[in-house]
Copies of this chain bind each other. A is one copy, B any other.
Amino acid sequence: MEIYLKSVAALNDETRVLLLRFLDHYGETCVCDMQASLDMIQSRLSRHLKILKDAGFLRVERKGTWAYYSIRSPLDRFRNEALQEIRYLDIELPPLKKLSETEGCKI
């Protein structure tokens, strides 16, 4: 029950669906760039990323103070099917702001 319900619960939120879509589209991104691109409060973003990670959808790699999130690969059948479903949704993605590469984040 555990894993299944956790992954379904993770999928059951518009913010997290957007995050999955974002990372699926733009690939590995650091938290501060997501924050800038999605105009989302830091604690909120961090919370949802954690939920997605704990549910097996995301992986994190730390590089210094930055944390880079990306979609875990390979995903199992169910999670993959969910991601597929999300690809078909009519969600408008904001442009990616890569602050981290230029002037730094300074949020």
Q: Give chain B residues whose Cβ lies under 8 Å from the Cβ of A90.
A: 1
State whether A81 and B77 are in contact (beta carbons under 8 Å apart), knowing that A11-B8, A91-B1 are contacts in the complex.
yes
Nearest CB to that of A4 among chain B residues? B85
Does the CB pair B12–A5 fall under 8 Å? yes
Docked pose: A91 CA to B2 CA in angstroms: 11
Asked if A107 is at the interface (CB within 8 A of a chain B CB), the reply is no
Docked pose: A80 CA to B85 CA in angstroms: 13
A-B CB contact pairs (8 Å), 8 listed: A1-B91, A5-B12, A5-B14, A8-B82, A9-B12, A77-B81, A77-B84, A81-B81
Chain A residues at the B interface, C-beta cutoff of 8 Å: 1, 4-5, 8-9, 11-12, 14, 17, 77-78, 81-82, 84-86, 89-91
Given known contacts A4-B17, A77-B81, what 4 new A-B pairs fall within 8 Å (CB)?
Answer: A1-B17, A1-B90, A4-B85, A5-B14
Top 3 nearest A-B pairs by Cβ distance?
A: A81-B81, A12-B12, A8-B11
